[in-house]
Structure 1
Amino acid sequence: MADRRILGVPVPVALFFLGMMLPTSVGVSLGGLRMSAYRIVLLAMFLPMLLRLLSGRNVKPNIFDALVLGHCTLALVSLINWGGLQQGIESGGIYFVEFAGAWLMGRVYIRSYADFRAFAHAFVITVVAMVSFTLPEALTSVHILHDGLAAISGGAPAPFIEQRMGLERTFGPFDHPILYGVFSAAAFSMAWYVVAEKRLTNLPGMAQVLGVGLATFLSASGGPYLVLMMQGFVAAWERLFRGIQGRWLMLLGLFVLVYLGIDLFSNRTPFHVFVTYFTFSTQSAYNRILLFEFGTAEVARHPLLGIGLGEWERPVWMSDSMDNFWLLIAMRYGLPAWAMLVGLVLGMVVANARRQGLPEAWKRARHAWAFTLFGIAVAAATVHLWNALFVLFLFLIGAGAWLSDAPLPERRKGIGAAPLLHCRATRPRAPVARLF
């Protein structure tokens, strides 16, 4: 099954994505554990993927795999510390399968530019095709995909959520408009860099870029809009300054200057300003500010192992919903586990950025991968990544691992643009991954 493909995508990846696009009601319950469709796929493939990694045949283990396993182990210890051995192993075990399993799905099965390109095309086509259901949903308030699939599986219909901008907030097949929106927005860089190949004259590709934008808009959610805006911003930066060496250090410097400027000249912290201007309502912004204040206080009280799934101290009138993925990781599993996740993302971005001599198509794939992660990572400060969105994020991180160690294609000697031939069996010039 691992070597068979659907539209160029390995069958396990296709099944995994199909599972993500089903409501959580489509699944089974095993001893109190909710086994949604994507969890069943990850559980079935976990050991084969892990053995494939450890065997070193098609993919060599490196420090990033150690960070993933280290994070999952610390999370498991945190949950055992919170709920005891049995409950901790149950909750920690499924977290291990989701986190490490989704990472392995991308790490093991996306191993070349051809794999990445096939996945990007399938991802974008899926998002654009769903618009045929979600556009009528936004106009009629009938949740076609979610309620239709839930009715088949005996699940509950979509909960009532107030309209925004005169439109019904669309669920698609997901459990919440934010999930649908971020899933759609995550395909933007894939559409622009891989499908349209950065060419405005590529009309079929640009139609899919616009389709991804429309799908994101229909969610009517601030988090997905932020994912899209961040990707669009760095894509515009890359296009404007593509001939300038050190353009990404310039961008980092710009972010630092903006942060310092807000901190110096505003009576609010940069985080307060960021949340205020990137949420739909004042009430929503105020709630996120309170969550940040009480959440960071909880992290300070439990810095090593966090509080697991336990209650965190807050006013009785505050909801327990934590709309900040990064803060929730630190609060639940402790700062060491949080640092491993942050180190995984940043380390892989740096490792892939330092790879030299990539063909132009590979560079576009690198931009698509890095900009997608950037958009989601920034938005994750204002939304929580849960269920399908959580495993999507981990899969996308793993799906870029090939960029740092896949053999470079040889070029035919001669004049002009040479076509790509076979891949060298030699090791990549700099084993960057070992440096992090």
Structure 2
Amino acid sequence: MIVLIVPMLVQLISGHRGRMHIFDALLFAHCGWALLALIKWGGVAQGIESGGIYIVECAGAYLLGRLYIRSCDDFTAMARAYVGMVLATLVFTIPEALTGVHILHDGISGAVGGPKAPFIEPRMGLERTFGPFDHPILYGVFCASSFSLAYFVLAQRQLMNFGGMAKVAGVVLATFMSASGGPYVVLMMQGFVAGWERVLGTVQGRWAALFSLFAMAYVAIDLFSTKTPFHVFVNYFTFSKQSAYNRILIFEFGTAEVARHPIFGIGLGEWERPLWMSESMDNFWLATAVRYGLPALLLLLALLLGLVWAVGQRKNLPPDWKRARHAWAFTLFGITVAAATVHLWNALFVLFFFLLGAGAWLLDAAPERKRQFHVPLTPQANLHPARLF
């Protein structure tokens, strides 16, 4: 991405791969605000260094998907490659879960240098698998994020498509190997909305009804529970009470930090918390607001929600385009919900922005019309059928 960032910016501005739109501007505004926050708290040198790589990872990943996936065929090829990589990791992660030997992580660390996988308590009788990632949560979210791509694009929603559904089952198995609550949330959210779409696919206003249902559930929990909806969500979607309690504390101390520094956050500084708490902040949205300020978070949410809404407004799309739209939107939905309990860092941060940009073609690309070939039937052609060939 360091190599491609400048050529991609040139291609975006020139309009060779789709015209620029407001969502591109929102992305660059988000990156610009993050850069300002880092300069404010760390000085020009640190701000340019840290902000520069943030722009490369954020804008570079987005532009990679935005510029090089410009058709349904491109999107299908990406989905096939993505799901294929997830299934390929099973060759290493199934033995890893059974033996506790972190084949990919420790093998890569031994080859290029770096620490071995840290010890993490097993769950459900299985060793939590790292795959090639820094943490089982990252591996799990990576796998779970391919569920909708496998179901809608490769299996084409057809339960009798045994090859495609086998890939869906492989994605579920790979996610299970991580033994992490966050990835399971990504998987469940995608499965839920996929089931909702399958049952109510012909009903107008089904998505408005779904979000109304979510809003009613939120209000009901807030009214009738002694805990906030966030507390209830964390308690029921994490494996251990200790993990849930830690995430609740993160939310409380993190939001207090945002209240103290709402505009530019705290940059790379330390956030105030008890000494016994880890510096890790398992909430991507909160971490963004704490580090770069509320404007950076709001710009990112405007990009995400606005792009999904705009793509959803397109009418009369071919069936394969509609399946691609569902796959893309449901994938982002799952990651968005899980990101309230998981921090997206390193490779997963890049993956999120790549997936965000990978659906931008649905906003302005025109469906290709299939060419129809007509062979004129002359009297001579009728007498000599071989001339048609």
Q: 1:271, 1:176 → 2: CA distance?
A: 24
Amino acid at match of 1:48: P
Secondary structure at the aligned position of 1:312 is classed as: coil
Which has a greater percent of helix? Answer: 2
CA distance in 2, matches of 1:392, 1:203: 28
Q: CA deviation at 1:294?
A: 0.7
Aligned counterpart in structure 2 of residue 51 of structure 1, from 10, 29, 47: 10
**Are 1:386 and 2:345 counterparts?**
yes
What percentage of aligned pairs have identical amino acids? 67
Q: What is the TM-score of this pair, normalised by structure 1?
A: 0.84
Residue 332 of structure 2 is aligned to residue 373 of structure 1: yes
Structure 1 residues 357-388: Cα deviation after superposition (integer angstroms, max 9, x where no partner): 10000000000000000000000000000000
| Aligned match of 2:380 | none
Q: Distance in 1 between matches of 2:314 and 2:30?
A: 26
How far apart, in 2, do the equivalents of 1:307 and 1:219 lie? 32
1:63 is matched with which residue?
22
Amino acid at match of 1:137: E
Question: Could you tell me which of 218, 221, 230 is aligned with 2:180?
Answer: 221
Pairing 1:21-170 to 2, within 5 Å after superposition: 42-170=1-129
- In 1, the alpha carbon distance for the partners of 2:16 and 2:130 equals 41
Worse overlay, 312-321 or 68-77: 312-321
CA offsets 1:5-34 (integer angstroms, 9 cap, x no match): xxxxxxxxxxxxxxxxxxxxxxxxxxxxxx
Deviations 1:284-327 (A, max 9, x none): 10110111011011111111111101111111111111000000
Task: Name the CA distance, whole Å, in 2 between partners of 1:395 and 1:207.
Answer: 26
In the alignment, is residue 267 of structure 1 matched against residue 226 of structure 2? yes
Q: Does 1:172 align with 2:131?
A: yes
One-letter amino acid of the counterpart of residue 334, structure 1: G
One-letter amino acid of the counterpart of residue 243, structure 1: T
Whole-Å separation in 2 of the counterparts to 1:272 and 1:219: 24
What TM-score, normalized to structure 2?
Answer: 0.95
The residue that corresponds to 1:294 in the other structure is 253
**CA 1:354 to 1:160, structure 2 compared with 1: closer, same or farther past 3 Å?**
same
The structure with the largest strand share of the pair is: 1
Aligned pairs, how many? 373
Once residues 51 and 217 of structure 1 are traced to their aligned partners in structure 2, the CA distance between those partners, rounded to angstroms, is 42
Q: RMSD of aligned C-alpha atoms? A: 1.1
1:353 and 2:312 equivalent? yes
1:194 aligns with 2:129: no
Which residue in the other structure is 1:424 paired with? none
1:243-254 map, 5 Å: 243-254=202-213
Pairwise CA distance, 1:411 = 5.6
Which residue identity is paired with 1:80? I
Q: 1:80 to 1:203 in 2, by over 3 A?
A: same
The structural deviation recorded for 1:410 is 2.7
Gaps in structure 1 of 5+ consecutive residues: 1-41, 414-436
Distance 1:321 1:129 in 2: 30
Tell me how far 1:243 sits from its aligned partner. Answer: 1.1
Distance 1:150 1:319 in 2: 24
Looking at structure 2, the residues matched to 70 and 215 of structure 1 have their Cα atoms a distance apart, in angstroms, of 36
2:381 alignment counterpart: none
Match for 1:328 among 287, 292, 309?
A: 287
CA deviation vs aligned residue, 1:126-166 (integer Å, no higher than 9, x gap)? 10111111000000111111111111112221111111111
Bigger RCO (CA 8 Å, 6+ sep): 2
- Secondary structure at the counterpart of residue 409 of structure 1: coil
